[in-house]
A and B are shown apart, each in its own frame.
Chain A
């Protein structure tokens, strides 16, 4: 059987499959369907320094081969996470990674500093690309200066593996990737959702409560693969690829485009056991193609 372990800067994953933030809760919601320890890494819900109520309902709408959401980072804040969630998840033998968001560099840094204290959280994923909050979020991720300022502030406060999640809603994703690499990111993950809108033609108004939402699911996959490919050509840090992965075939595309690991998001809603099936499918594909390890194929399409 092919070796599925993959390295992401300072951390080792038992297989390249992780879960995308905001789509897998804290993992425990899926424990009836999959053995969480069979997943390479679990990236938990977006966490902010202070609690956030998120946006009003409706927060989601389905679209051809995908969906849009405007959840708006609803979460109970980093202290609640540390006190109430972390104790429940810390002994799960996988890489638990916290997705961190904020509305100014100081908030991001303070939130990251508190997570730095948790022994069994080996990495954070910095969300500078959320399209669903007015202040902060994506605002940082769409300019090289903004992105670099947040990453610099967090880099000083956070000592472990720092993954920075990039937005596709930009003119040049490679410029942003290079800026966060220079500012101290250990890895980049991409893509976050694509900004979109759906209109109810009877009400003659957008369906989502804030008008726009982030699009995810198989419809965005070719955009995501293109982004990973371009960024892989430009940066030296490892890449985590995501956007629309529904099966092992999709995951392998991302690996070939240069991703060292992948994340599965919206597909968890369609099949709550999809993560382990994709890991299994990658393993079978490698065996069928005579590959000894997953690392052999990373970036082969470049």
Chain B
């Protein structure tokens, strides 16, 4: 897939919650084609402390409206500066990067998409893609508390959404792997994006139930292009670049202790 470096225009900025910002981007030209699970490298202007670009997943991509959305958790200087963008501002992106999630394997397949925290970001686009292409996505989203659940309306518009919160403020209490749907339902495969401990426990569940499972990793990156070898993950084939060979990996290719 050809990669681009482009100044996109901020069409709108929304704050789903005080710690998150949703940046809706557009361009005068048609946006390049992107695949679900791919990411962008954002140049953060106006933050001298932020030297390198920041990798952010593609949350939503729509040809008809020519929009590409980034859902960002404001965790540090760079992401907080992204939170100060205003409609009309320009944002410089290198994209689309990485390989993304698996394409539809067979019509009607039931795919469980598990997201934790801001890890839900790429699952929205993946869910839309699966539904449009004849698969049956089901979402299982986990958060600390109900206020941390993001884009719920959009997820619900696509398919069933199961929820866990650590404080029982919404859905079932506990972690995603404790949700009852995992006991009562069966899935053809699972895709996960979220904090590492969550991904590990979902991967363990997948292994126990012999369900194919892929995870989206967030290793620290410098170039995002497979050139610097900074973002490597240990796999059965040795150290590979998450930015180029990933960020999505089959759990059987990783060397996690499951």
Contact = CB atoms under 8 A, between A and B. Distances in A.
B5 A30 contact: no
Interface in A50-101: 53-54, 56-67, 69, 71, 74
Interface string B26-61: 000000000000000001000011111100000000
A269 B232 contact: no
B219 interface: yes
Interface in B190-234: 219-234
B222 A60 contact: yes
B51 A69 contact: no
B224 to A, nearest CB: 8
A29 B233 CA distance: 19
Given A69-B222, A74-B229, A272-B5, 13 more contacts: A29-B226, A33-B5, A54-B229, A59-B230, A67-B51, A69-B228, A71-B228, A71-B229, A71-B230, A268-B223, A270-B51, A270-B52, A272-B223
B73 to A, nearest CB: 18
Nearest to B94: A272
Most chain B CB within a 10 A radius of its CB, from A54, A57, A67, A69: A57
Interface string A29-55: 110110000000000010000000110
Cβ-closest 3 pairs across A and B: A25-B227, A60-B230, A32-B3
Contacts of B227: 23-25, 29-30, 268
Given A22-B228, A23-B228, A33 B3 contact: yes
Contact of A57 (B49, B51, B219, B223): B219
Contacts, number: 92
Interface of A: 22-25, 29-30, 32-33, 45, 53-54, 56-67, 69, 71, 74, 217-218, 266, 268-273
Contacts of A45: 229
User: From DSSP, what is the main secondary structure of chain B's interface residues?
Assistant: loop
A29 B222 CA distance: 14
B178 interface: no
A275 B171 CA distance: 52
B100 to A, nearest CB: 17
30 contacts: A22-B228, A23-B223, A23-B227, A23-B228, A25-B228, A32-B3, A32-B4, A33-B94, A53-B238, A54-B229, A54-B232, A57-B234, A58-B219, A62-B51, A64-B48, A65-B48, A67-B51, A69-B222, A71-B230, A74-B229, A74-B239, A217-B51, A218-B51, A266-B222, A269-B223, A270-B53, A271-B43, A272-B94, A272-B225, A273-B5
Nearest to B4: A32
B51 A58 contact: no
Question: Which of A22, A60, A218 is packed against the most chain B CB atoms within 10 Å?
Answer: A60
Nearest to B242: A57
B106 interface: no
Contacts of B51: 62-67, 217-218, 270
B54 to A, nearest CB: 10
Nearest to A64: B49
A67 B43 CA distance: 16
Given A23-B227, A59-B232, A67 B5 contact: no
A12 B5 CA distance: 30
A32 B2 contact: yes
Contacts of B222: 60, 67, 69, 266, 269
Nearest to B219: A57
Contacts of B3: 32-33
A63 B49 CA distance: 8
Given A69-B230, A74-B239, A271-B5, A30 B225 contact: yes
Contacts of B5: 33, 271-273
Q: Which of B2, B221, B232 neighbours the largest number of chain A CB atoms within 10 Å of its CB?
A: B232
